[in-house]
């Protein structure tokens, strides 16, 4: 089976990293992950929050990054350098619509061992760090990648990061009646029975339901 070779991927990753580092507020580098059967080269980018929108547009237009994989929000209440971190994962797929010849579609079979230039598939990981703030907010990229739409909704719903310019923000996983400001993945919300003693005090497992208080097995 024909797969992308390590050389092409690392060369393409270096190229993007160099060109991105030229933009201001952006620090890009290539991270080599060696644990799999084949080394992977990931372009890791650190962007300041003010330059994010410009960087995103450049990624889409100049480097043809066309697939938004995931948007993660992390809350670091105890770290010194950062309080909120938003991590975007993108892929450059090199997918184009198949050509149509004489009214029949010709499937676009790419030989991955021979891709070059802007078609080399790549992984990108972009990290935006915010300091101490009660309303972390980042520019939305909903219009650049349609796939970012529901990812942003989920990140707001679970972590509480506001995406400026996002139309139609709503609760997607939590119930609609959740109280405003309830974002479960923030670290001040603890799980039920987070302190184990509470669970082991109730070894019979009875006090979990209100009707069972006082019962003995």
Partner 1 sequence: MSDEEQNYSMFSSRILVDTIGDVTDDALKASGMKEIIGVLAGRLFNWGQRKSLFPLHLGIKCCALEMAAAGASRFDAERFGVFFRSSPRQCDVLLVNGPISKKFADPITRLWEQMPEPKWCIAMGECAISGGPYFQSYNILEGVDTIIPVDIYIPGCPPRPEALIDGFGKLREKIIRIGAMPSHARIDGTSPVIIGDD
Partner 2 sequence: MGPQHPMTHGLWTLKIKVDGETVVDTEPELGYIHRGVEKICESRDFTQITTYCDRLCYASANTWSHAYIYAAEDLLGVEVPERAEYIRLIAVELQRLASHLMWLGAYGPDIGNLSAMVWCLREREMMMDLLQELGGSRMHYNFPRIGGVKRDLPTGFALRARHKVKLFLNRMQEYEALFDESTIFLIRSQGVGYTKAAEMVNAGVSGPNIRAAGVNYDIRSAHPYSVYSEFDWEPAVERSSIKGADCYDRYRIRMEEMRNSANLVLQALDKIPGGAETYHEPGDPKILAKSPSRAPEGTSGSHHFEDSRGESMFYIAGGGDGRGKKPYRVSIRSPMFITIPYAAKTMIGYKVADIPAIMGSFDPCIGETDR
- CA-CA distance, 8 to 122, in Å (whole number)? 10
Site residues for partner 1, window 178-197 (CB under 8 A)?
184, 189, 191-194
Residues 46, 89, 137, 169: which binds partner 2 (CB under 8 A)?
A: 89
- Which 11-40 residues touch partner 2, going by CB under 8 A? 33-38, 40
Q: Are 55 and 21 in contact (CB under 8 A)?
A: no
* 151 is a contact residue toward partner 2 (CB under 8 A): yes
Is 205 an interacting residue with respect to partner 1 (CB under 8 A)?
yes
Helix 52-61 to helix 6-21 angle (10° resolution) is: 140
Cα-Cα-Cα-Cα dihedral sign, residues 89, 93, 94, 97: negative
Calpha distance 4→59 (Å, rounded):
21
Q: How far apart are CA 217 and CA 208, in angstroms?
A: 14
Q: Which residues bind partner 1 (CB under 8 A)?
A: 174-176, 184, 189, 191-194, 205, 208-209
Catalog residues that contact partner 2 under the rule CB under 8 A.
1-4, 33-38, 40, 42, 66-70, 72, 74, 87, 89, 91, 93-98, 100, 103-110, 112, 121, 123, 125, 145-151, 154, 158, 171-175, 184-185, 189, 191, 194
């Amino acid at each position: 089976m024909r797969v992308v070779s390590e050389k092409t991927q690392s060369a393409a990753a270096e190229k993007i990293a160099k060109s991105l580092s030229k933009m201001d507020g952006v620090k890009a580098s290539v991270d080599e992950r060696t644990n799999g059967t084949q080394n992977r080269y990931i372009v890791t980018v650190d962007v300041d929050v003010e330059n994010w929108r410009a960087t995103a547009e450049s990624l889409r237009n100049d480097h043809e990054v066309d697939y938004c994989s995931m948007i993660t929000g992390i809350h670091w209440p105890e770290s010194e350098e950062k309080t909120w971190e938003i991590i975007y994962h993108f892929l450059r797929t090199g997918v184009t619509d198949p050509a149509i010849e004489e009214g029949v579609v010709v499937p676009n079979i790419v030989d991955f061992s021979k891709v070059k230039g802007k078609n080399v598939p790549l992984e990108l990981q972009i990290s935006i760090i915010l300091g101490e703030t009660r309303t972390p907010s980042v520019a939305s990229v909903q219009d650049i990648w349609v796939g970012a739409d529901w990812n942003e909704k989920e990140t707001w719903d679970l972590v509480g990061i506001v995406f400026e310019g996002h139309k139609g923000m709503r609760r997607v996983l939590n119930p609609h009646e959740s109280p405003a400001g309830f974002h479960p993945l923030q670290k001040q919300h603890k799980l039920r029975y987070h302190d184990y003693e509470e669970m082991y005090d109730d070894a019979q497992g009875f006090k979990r339901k209100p009707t069972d208080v006082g019962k003995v097995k």
